[in-house]
C-alpha cells in the first residue's frame, strides 16, 4: 500500500492498532491525561481489547505480569508519567526477576518540555535501565509500529522479561500515515545434535542425576514431553523456588520444591547428586539456598545448564555443559531421546517421591487454628485445574508445601518475593479464565498493600476467594528479628481493619475463622458464593502468631538464638 493510500491517524490510534495486531486482548491500566489518545483509541477496538480499570498502578503492573506468566505473551500495562511510573516499578521489577514477558507504556511530557523538569517529568531510561530488557522513548509518531513490534520481540525472545516504552504527548497527539506491522512470533531455540548427544552421555554415566525445572513460557505439551523424558531416564524432578507449576507435583518422578524451607531429604539428595540437569532456571539465591546447595562458581555436582540466554550461562555457575535453548525447544528435543544407562535408578525416584508425599502430612501447629490443616483442606477441596496465587511472607510456605500443583496456570507466585502480588494475580487469573477456580493466599500485611484492587473484582464480577492470614504483624521479618536479635521485638506489629466489613463494602462475602474444624465449611461457603455471585469472598484466618512456618514457631526460633 502506498503512503498516500494509508489512513491518517494519531499516535494513540496507531499504537492501539499495533497491540491488536500483536494479539493483545486485554490491557491493565490506571488512566492518565499523558496518554489520553491511547485511551480514546480503545473505543475503536471494543470487543477485541478489554481495558481493565485498576485502582493503583502497582496493582495494574502486577496484573500485567501475572497475565504474562499465564499466557507466555507480554502482559500490557498503561500508566501515567512520574508518580504512575514509580508505582508501577514494583511490577516491572517482578517481571525482571521472574523472567516474565511484559510491556509497560508510560505517558511522558512533550518533547518541547524535555530536560526542563516539567510536571512529572522522569528520564525512564535511567529509572528502569537496570531492571528491564529494553527501555525506549518513541519520539516519532510514524515509528510507533516499529517500536511496538520490537518490544514484543524483546519481551518474549531469549530470557523473557519486561520492556518499558515512554510515550511523549506530542508523539501520541501527532498524526501520521504509517503502515501497520504483523504479529511477532517468538523463536523457540532448539538443542543442537552435538549438545544433545553430550547431554545424553553425561546422563547415562551418572549414578545420582537430578532434574531441576524453572523459568517461564512452559506449555502443557512441553511438560508432557519432560514428564516422559524423566520417566525414561529415571530422574527425580524438582521445581525451582516458586515455580511449582513447571512439573506435575503428583507425577511419580516429582521430588518437590527446591529452595528455602525445602525438606531435609530433598536438600540432601540434591547435595549428593553427581549430575544436575537444570532447565530454564537461573538457580538464583532462593533456589540455591544462598548459592550453597549448588556452589558458585563451580558446583560440586556436574552441571548441565539449559537456558535461553547465552549471557546467563557461566555468569553465576560454570557448567560442565551449557546449552542455549528455550524450555519448549529443549522439551521438543528430548521428546524422542532414549537412555542407555546401565543400572536402574527407579528406586531413587520412588524414594524421593515418597518423601514428597510424606512431607504433605500436616505438622503440629500451635493454637486452635492450624495453618497446616488449612492448607491441606484447601488443596483437597480444589480441583486439579484451580489456580492458587500468593504474595510474599512465611504464610506462603504452607500452600507451597501442601498443594499438589498440576501444571500451567495452577500457581502464580512472585519468585522475587514482592508483597501485594496475590490479589492482583488472582484477578488476572480470573479474567483470563473465568471458568477456573482461583484462590488467593495473602498475609494481612501483604493483602493491605493492594486490597483496593477488590474494586476491580467487584466491577468485573470476578468470583475469587481470598484467605487472609491474620497474625497482626510482619511475620517473616519478626522471624528474622528473633533469629538475629532475640527477645527485642519492636516496630513490627499493627492493628488490622475488620476484613469482613471491608469485603462486604465491595459486595462480597466475608467470614472470620478461628478454629480448624470451622475452616472447611467456611471454605465451602466462600467457594459457593464466589461461583454463584461472581463476586469476591474472603476468609479472615485468625491464628496463634507463634506459628510462623511449617514445623516452626517464633518462640523456638528465639530460644535457639538465645542458646547460641
Give residue-wise pLDDT tens across range 150-193: 999 999 999 999 999 999 999 999 999 999 999 999 999 999 99
Evaluate whether 214 touches 280 at the Cβ level (below 8 Å). yes
Domain of residue 231, CATH code: 3.40.50.1220
Beta strands at 321-324 and 302-307: parallel, antiparallel or unpaired: parallel
Same domain, 9 and 135: yes
Give residue-wise pLDDT tens across range 216-271: 999 999 999 999 999 999 999 999 999 999 999 999 999 999 999 999 999 999 99
363 within domain boundaries: no
366 within domain boundaries: no
Spatial CB neighbours of 132, under 8 Å, sequence gap ≥ 6: 92, 96, 161, 162, 163, 164
**pLDDT category, 458, cuts 50, 70, 90?**
very high
Same domain, 253 and 297: yes
| Average pLDDT taken over every residue of the chain | 96
Same domain, 350 and 394: no
**Cell 502497582 sits on residue:** 58
390 within domain boundaries: yes
185 within domain boundaries: no
Dihedral sign for Cα atoms in the order 375, 365, 400, 463: positive
Same domain, 525 and 428: yes
Q: What is the pLDDT of residue 113?
A: 81
Question: What total number of domains does the chain contain?
Answer: 3
Look up residue 257 and give its three cell numbers: 520444591
Q: What average pLDDT score do residues 34-43 get?
A: 98
Among 174, 202, 231, identify where a domain stops: 174
Same domain, 81 and 214: no
180 within domain boundaries: no
Same domain, 141 and 241: no
Same domain, 388 and 489: yes
Same domain, 110 and 204: no
Among 139, 174, 209, identify where a domain stops: 174
413 within domain boundaries: yes
Evaluate whether 109 touches 81 at the Cβ level (below 8 Å). yes
| Three-class SS state of 298 | coil
Look up residue 536 and give its three cell numbers: 469476591
Among 122, 143, 174, identify where a domain stops: 174
| Containing structural domain, residue 302 | 193-358
Give residue-wise pLDDT tens across range 482-500: 999 999 999 999 999 999 9
Same domain, 406 and 342: no
Q: What is the pLDDT of residue 481?
A: 96
Domain of residue 112, CATH code: 3.40.50.970
Same domain, 218 and 299: yes
Same domain, 375 and 352: no
CA distances to 228, 327, 452 from 432, in Å? 29, 23, 20
179 within domain boundaries: no
What's the predicted TM-score (pTM) here? Answer: 0.96
25 within domain boundaries: yes
**pLDDT category, 320, cuts 50, 70, 90?**
very high
Same domain, 556 and 499: yes
Amino acid at each position: 500500500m502506498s503512503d498516500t493510500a494509508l489512513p491518517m491517524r494519531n499516535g494513540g490510534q496507531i499504537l492501539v492498532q499495533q497491540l491488536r495486531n500483536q494479539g493483545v486482548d486485554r490491557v491493565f491500566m490506571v488512566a492518565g491525561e499523558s496518554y489520553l489518545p491511547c485511551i480514546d483509541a480503545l473505543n475503536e477496538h471494543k470487543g477485541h481489547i478489554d481495558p481493565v480499570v485498576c485502582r493503583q498502578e502497582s496493582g495494574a503492573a502486577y496484573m500485567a505480569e501475572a497475565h504474562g506468566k499465564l499466557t507466555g505473551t507480554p502482559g500490557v500495562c498503561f500508566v501515567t508519567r512520574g508518580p504512575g511510573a514509580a508505582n508501577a516499578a514494583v511490577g516491572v521489577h517482578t517481571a525482571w526477576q521472574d523472567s516474565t514477558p511484559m510491556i509497560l507504556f508510560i505517558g511522558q511530557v512533550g518533547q518541547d518540555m524535555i530536560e526542563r523538569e516539567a510536571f512529572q517529568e522522569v528520564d525512564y531510561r535511567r529509572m528502569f535501565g537496570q531492571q528491564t530488557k529494553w527501555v525506549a522513548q518513541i519520539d516519532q509518531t510514524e515509528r510507533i509500529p516499529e517500536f511496538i513490534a520490537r518490544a514484543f520481540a524483546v519481551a518474549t525472545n531469549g530470557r523473557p522479561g519486561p520492556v518499558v516504552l515512554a510515550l511523549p504527548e506530542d508523539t501520541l497527539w501527532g498524526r501520521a500515515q504509517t503502515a501497520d506491522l504483523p504479529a511477532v512470533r517468538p523463536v523457540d531455540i532448539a538443542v543442537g545434535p552435538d549438545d544433545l548427544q553430550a547431554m545424553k552421555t553425561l546422563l547415562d554415566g551418572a549414578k545420582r542425576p537430578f532434574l531441576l525445572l524453572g523459568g517461564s513460557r512452559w506449555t502443557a505439551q512441553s511438560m508432557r514431553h519432560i514428564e516422559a523424558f524423566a520417566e525414561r531416564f529415571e530422574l527425580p524432578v524438582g521445581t525451582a523456588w516458586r515455580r511449582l507449576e513447571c512439573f506435575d507435583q503428583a507425577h511419580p518422578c516429582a521430588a518437590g520444591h527446591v529452595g528455602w524451607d525445602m525438606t531435609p531429604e530433598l536438600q540432601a539428595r540434591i547435595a549428593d547428586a553427581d549430575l544436575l540437569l537444570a532447565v530454564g532456571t537461573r538457580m538464583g539465591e532462593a533456589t540455591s539456598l544462598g548459592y550453597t546447595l549448588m556452589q558458585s562458581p563451580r558446583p560440586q555436582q556436574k552441571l548441565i545448564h539449559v537456558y535461553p540466554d547465552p549471557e546467563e550461562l557461566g555468569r553465576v555457575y560454570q557448567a560442565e555443559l551449557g546449552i542455549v535453548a528455550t524450555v519448549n525447544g529443549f522439551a521438543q528435543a528430548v521428546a524422542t531421546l532414549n537412555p542407555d544407562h546401565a543400572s536402574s535408578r527407579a528406586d531413587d525416584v520412588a524414594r524421593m517421591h515418597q518423601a514428597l508425599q510424606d512431607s504433605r502430612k500436616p505438622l503440629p501447629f500451635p493454637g486452635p487454628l492450624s495453618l497446616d490443616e488449612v492448607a491441606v483442606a484447601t488443596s483437597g477441596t480444589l480441583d486439579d485445574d484451580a489456580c492458587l496465587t500468593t504474595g510474599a511472607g512465611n504464610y506462603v510456605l504452607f500452600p507451597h508445601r501442601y498443594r499438589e500443583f498440576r501444571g500451567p496456570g495452577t500457581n502464580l507466585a512472585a519468585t522475587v518475593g514482592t508483597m501485594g502480588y496475590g490479589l492482583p494475580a488472582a484477578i488476572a487469573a480470573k479474567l483470563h479464565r473465568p471458568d477456573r477456580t482461583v484462590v488467593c493466599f495473602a498475609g494481612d500485611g501483604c493483602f493491605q498493600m493492594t486490597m483496593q484492587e477488590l474494586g476491580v473484582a467487584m466491577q468485573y464480577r470476578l468470583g475469587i476467594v481470598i484467605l487472609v492470614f491474620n497474625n497482626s504483624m510482619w511475620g517473616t521479618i519478626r522471624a528474622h528479628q528473633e533469629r538475629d536479635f532475640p527477645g527485642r521485638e519492636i516496630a513490627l506489629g499493627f492493628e488490622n481493619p475488620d476484613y469482613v466489613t471491608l469485603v462486604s463494602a465491595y459486595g462480597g462475602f466475608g467470614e472470620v475463622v478461628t478454629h480448624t474444624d470451622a475452616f472447611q465449611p467456611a471454605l465451602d461457603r466462600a467457594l459457593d458464593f464466589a461461583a454463584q455471585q461472581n463476586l469476591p469472598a474472603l476468609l479472615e484466618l485468625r491464628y496463634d502468631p507463634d506459628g510462623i512456618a511449617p514445623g516452626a514457631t517464633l518462640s523456638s526460633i528465639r530460644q535457639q538464638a538465645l542458646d547460641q
